[in-house]
Amino acid sequence: MQSLACHTCDARVLVAKYSPAHTSIQWSEEARQSCREIAAAAAVDNGSYVMRCEALDRTVDEAVSDGLIRPSHRVDPAIAPLASTEAVTSAR
């Protein structure tokens, strides 16, 4: 993940861009407090979870376009298959 500051509020987050439609963002508590869109939503709904910040989305798109954020390839961890004696149960 790469560090990036929002052009609107200067909140610094970690960003990984996997495809045009898939962006992963890690927010620190300091960044959440700096972001105007998250702060406004929290004030209205007493700390509601905001899925995204439009200003940060624009900043990420611009950084990708300018070559500052390079697309990454997501690597999922290897998971060993279940042995034939193990059962998968579903919770209902």
What is the per-residue pLDDT for 41?
76
Phi-psi group of 10: left, alpha or beta (phi > 0 → left; psi -120 to 50 → alpha; rest → beta)? left
> pLDDT averaged over the chain?
83
- Write down the pTM of the prediction: 0.70
- What are 8-35's pLDDT values in tens digits? 999 999 999 988 888 999 988 899 889 9
Q: Which residue has the tokens 């990454």?
A: 72
Reported residue count of the chain is: 92
Residues 58-78 have a mean pLDDT of: 86
Sketch the domain layout of the chain as residue ranges: 2-65
